[in-house]
Amino acid sequence: MVSAWIWFKCSTPVRLGKTSYLIRLRSPIDFGRVKQRISLDLAGEWIGHYPGHFDEVIRIDQRGDEVEAVKITGDDYVPAGATTWRASLRTLKGEGQIAEEEFIHPRFIPGQLIIVNHERIIFRWENCGEVEFRRDD
C-alpha cells in the first residue's frame, strides 16, 4: 500500500482521477493548507476490456509506489504471463507492452495510468488507445 500526500488550499477544487472534490473549512481561521492522506492499494486481480478482443484478467503487483500488471489471460499479441503495463503511482507515468500477432517484436511504449477510484483504473498507451480495468471481486 502506498500513501500519497495531497496539499490543497481552502475552498480549492482537488481532482483525483475523474472525481473532483471541493474542500471548505468551517472555521474562520485561515489554515492555509490542509494535509489529506490518500492510500492507494491496487494489488490484486482486475478485469480489462481490450477493444477488438475480449475481456482479459490481469494481476497487479505493487511494490512501494511501483505497479506492474501481468496478464493472467492473454491474447494473440501479448500472452498470459507477460507484463501488459507498469507505472509509478507517484507520477502515474508508465509504459505498456505492444507486439505484433504471435508476440512478435514485443516492445514497451510510453503510457499513463489513470486512477478513477479504488475499483476502476485506466491504462492509456501513447497513440495506441486505452483499456479500462475493474477490480475483480
For the chain, list the domains and their CATH numbers. 2-39 (no CATH), 41-135 (2.40.128)
- The β-bridge partners of 96 are 85, 109
Tell me: the pLDDT tens digits for 28-50?
Answer: 444 444 444 457 899 999 999 88
In this prediction, residue 130 carries a pLDDT of 95
- Judge whether 31 and 10 are in contact, CB under 8 Å: yes
CB atoms within 10 A of CB 75: 17
- Higher-pLDDT residue of 82 and 118 is 82
Decide: pTM greater than 0.75: no
* pLDDT band for position 19 (cuts 50, 70, 90): low
> Whole-angstrom Cα distance, residue 134 to residue 137?
9
pLDDT cut 70: percent of the chain above it: 72
* pLDDT band for position 18 (cuts 50, 70, 90): low
